[in-house]
Amino acid sequence: MAQFFKPQPKPKQTSTLELAIDRLDLHGVGIGRHQGKTIFVEGAMPGELIKARLTDDKKQHGFAQLQKILTPSPQRQTPFCPHYEQCGGCSTQHLPLALQHETKVSGVQSLFSRLAGYELGAPEFIITGDDQRYRRVCRLAIKYDKKARRAQVGFRRRLSHDLVEVSACPVLVSSLSALIEPLRALCNQLKSFRDLGHIELCEADNGPLMLLRHNGQPGEGDLALLREFAAEHQLACYLQCADQPLPLTSREAPFYRLGELSIGFLPGDFLQVNRTINEQMVAKVLAWLAPEAGDKVLDLFCGLGNFTLPLAGRAKEVVGVEGVMEMVLRARQNAERNGLGNVRFFQSNLDEPFVHAPWAKEPFSLVVLDPARPGAAGSMPHLLKLAPKRLVYVSCNPVTAARDCQRLHAEGYRLTRWGLFDMFPHTGHVETILLFEQHA
């Protein structure tokens, strides 16, 4: 007679782990092993023994939250921001800058090796700047606290939609950081404070500006308060309720200087947040492309003309292509305001086939592209048909850069130089520049 045994339940795995951290990933997240599985722990450092709470258990890896450092690394730094533990930004303040750079370099190298089958070698340079007071652009979140009947102003809490209210931010340029506390008071003076969306701040060369996104329609009293605030703090104020932002003040339109050029913009336009690093990045693009008087250059994902306009001073002609028509119009205005007659700008969706666009039928000897995080997969087929002699690829996402590198390499281009810009210190973000040249 067969015997039947009631199966015993599997013992529950404890959600608290003791881990030895071996290394960091590209984003500065600690990596350890538990029962043969890779565990990622933000805030942990190599050489540390920690306790962590498992928050997401996948088949081959897991994520855990740091609970206690049992054996700290001698390299661990005290974060300079009092909101470090709660705020979702600047998550690698505990790492020395040299270790942050080392981690970003090794992370980019690993991705290119794994995704593109390409061994990068050491970067030609790692360009750095100030690691505090470097951001000239930011977005402040606003949330209505029903219980307290007030508007909260700050940044998103780590791994949450909740807010961390701050009185200052040490990575913002001083003029913007000083506005946070007064802006909180302003928001709670407005009668329409329940309808506030968020605030965008930017430091232009002719003074700071703010854009208030509003989910309703402020009354005359609120508009008067906004204008008074702008006058008191000597800033340009814009309001956006539906479509385009409308100026509430009569100040000159914002602009920033890039060498001898003056580049105008409006709130909501994309700007590189780190002015010093951007200037050095533009200089490297010009040096690596090395345009001569007879060269015709194509700048894809050109934005306001950040690369296009400086290139115009060295090449025969430059064509900039951008997906957002408003940016194209402002880029054209920027060419005019700087007296550049050898620049043309076009609007095209570069994620879709564009071979029939008039500009796409022209020959180009040099190409620069600076795509957003999704990369330039949609642009690769046409670029390869153009067969430029040199191509400079600026990337904010090494994953998609590695994918696009693989395509270029397969079509006969050599990656001859690469470098790293620390555009975003104390974060896992990295900006790379790559030079591709045709095989001889």
Q: Which residues are catalytic?
A: 396
Query: 206 burial class (0-12, 13-18, 19+ CB within 10 angstroms)?
Result: middle
Cβ proximity of 166 and 138 under 8 Å: no
204 closest CA partner among 279, 266, 259, 129: 266
CA–CA separation, 57 and 86 (whole Å): 23
- Bridge-based pairing of strands 126-127 and 413-421 is parallel
Rounded to whole angstroms, how far apart are CA atoms 395 and 431?
A: 6
414: left (phi over 0), alpha (psi -120 to 50) or beta: beta
Beta-carbon contacts of 95 under 8 Å, excluding residues fewer than 6 positions away, are 24, 28, 45, 75, 77, 103, 426
- What is the rounded distance in angstroms from the CA atom of residue 131 to the CA atom of residue 370? 23
Q: CA-CA distance, 189 to 186, in Å (whole number)?
A: 5
Residue type, position 36, single letter: G
Q: Dmax over Cα atoms in the chain, in whole Å?
A: 98
User: Among 168, 171, 175, 137, which Cα is nearest to 153's?
Assistant: 168
Contact (CB, 8 A) for 63 and 39: yes
Instruction: Give CA separation, 77 vs 74, 80, 129, in Å.
Output: 9, 9, 19
Q: What is the dihedral of CA 204, 373, 327, 275, to 10 degrees?
A: 20
Q: What is the DSSP string of 159-197?
A: TSSSEEE-S--TTB-HHHHTTHHHHHHHHHHSTTGGGEE
Cα(287)–Cα(283) distance, rounded to whole angstroms?
6
